Amino acid sequence: MSEWETRLAASGYRLTAARRAILQVLSESPVPLSPLEICRQGQARCTSLGPATVYRTLELLEKESLVRRVYQENGACAYLPALPGHRHAILCRSCGRAAEFPGSEDWESLAALVQQATGYRVEGHLLQLMGLCPDCQREEAK
């Protein structure tokens, strides 16, 4: 049983064939995947897997901090396995691969400045960077 399966079971969730297929697809992908890509690839493992199940499972996995939602340059969302702790993602604008980096508690001072300047109460944040991965940088240099 994978760590994801263990964590879901410990939280009281059933480990259906569809959920296992989704977990396998996500864990094997080198790039973030859209829900429809997850569905297509997951159907090879569980023929009854449908888009509604994928969306519900992704919502559950995100709630349990097992996946991270990222936004691609075209505005579409995709998902990747989440590492534990306060982390953010960086996506390669060329090949689509993603990496996570540790978040910083320094954002709280920025939130305080934003609150003071706007009157808004900051309740959360989303930080994602775009760039070129080392492989794509080497390719671009050629």
Class of domain 85-142: alpha beta
Class of domain 1-82: mainly alpha
Encode pLDDT of 36-56 as tens digits: 999 999 999 999 999 999 999
Query: Given this model, what pLDDT does residue 1 score?
Result: 58
The confidence band for 106, taking pLDDT boundaries of 50, 70 and 90, is: confident
Residue with more model confidence, 138 or 84 = 138
DSSP conformation letters of 1-53:
--HHHHHHHHTT----HHHHHHHHHHHH-SS-B-HHHHHHHHTTT-TT--HHH
**With the C-alpha atoms ordered 71, 69, 85, 17, is the resulting torsion angle positive or negative?**
negative
Domain with CATH 1.10.10.10 in the chain: 1-82
The confidence band for 105, taking pLDDT boundaries of 50, 70 and 90, is: low
Domain with CATH 3.30.1490.190 in the chain: 85-142
The answer to pTM > 0.85 is no
Encode pLDDT of 117-129 as tens digits: 999 999 888 888 9
CA 41 vs CA 5, 14, 28, 46, 47: distances in Å: 19, 21, 11, 9, 10
